[in-house]
């Protein structure tokens, strides 16, 4: 599957169980796609038993920020295993909190989608999380998408 290019998104949620006030959680994903236009549904694949799988199971609201080429470093930070806490990473990430989901929305992303989980499907060592899109914001000044192909982040063209 390394020969299948995919767009790169940062999937985020608010983890209520992380400290007294909760904290933001995030992960880089390349298995993200549109499922339906009516109703608007998207799908993200997360590793079963991962922290993000647990957070998305507890938090009905989440978001996806479609990353641009300029956000390659950000994608890498949230893709690392054994990384610093998400709470610390988000201190350096320009973002707002979604009104519908409470999840971080990355500033400068090509687009952001706020979602609510419709269903979860076990699929091998991953969980497919299907979300209903509640709100979408497009960045009119955004550049080109960040892609993942053959094990590395790539540019179009």
Residue 153, C-beta contacts closer than 8 angstroms, at least 6 positions apart: 8, 72, 75, 76, 146, 147
Does the residue 47 lie in any domain? yes
Boundaries of domain holding 130? 6-154
In a domain, 73, yes or no: yes
Q: Quick check: is 113 in a domain?
A: yes
Identify whether the C-beta of residue 98 lies closer than 8 Å to the C-beta of residue 112: yes
- Residue 51 inside a domain? The answer is yes
For 8-62, write each residue's pLDDT tens digit. Answer: 999 999 998 887 778 899 999 999 999 999 999 999 999 999 999 999 999 999 9
Burial of 59 (0-12, 13-18, 19+ CB in 10 A): buried
pLDDT tens-place string over residues 101-155: 999 999 999 999 999 999 999 999 999 999 999 999 999 776 899 999 999 998 8
- Its pTM surpasses 0.75: yes
Is residue 127 included in any domain, yes or no?
A: yes
CATH of the domain at 122: 2.30.110.10
Supply the mean pLDDT for the chain.
92
Asked if the structure places residue 128 within a domain, the reply is: yes
Query: What total of structural domains would you count in the chain?
Result: 1
For residue 1, being part of any structural domain is answered with no
């Amino acid at each position: 599957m390394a020969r299948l290019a995919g767009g790169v998104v940062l999937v985020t949620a608010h983890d209520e169980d992380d400290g007294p006030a909760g904290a933001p959680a995030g992960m880089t994903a390349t298995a993200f796609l549109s499922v339906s236009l009516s109703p608007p549904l998207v799908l993200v694949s997360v590793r079963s038993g991962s922290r993000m799988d647990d957070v998305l199971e507890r938090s009905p609201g989440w978001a996806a920020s479609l990353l641009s080429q300029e956000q390659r470093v950000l994608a890498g930070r949230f893709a690392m295993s054994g990384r610093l806490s998400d709470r610390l990473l988000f201190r350096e990430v320009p973002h707002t909190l979604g009104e519908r989901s409470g999840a971080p929305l990355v500033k400068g992303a090509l687009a952001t989608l706020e979602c609510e989980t419709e269903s979860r499907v076990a699929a091998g060592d991953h969980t497919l999380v299907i979300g209903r899109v509640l709100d979408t914001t497009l960045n009119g000044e955004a550049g080109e998408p960040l892609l993942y192909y053959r094990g590395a982040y790539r540019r179009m063209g």
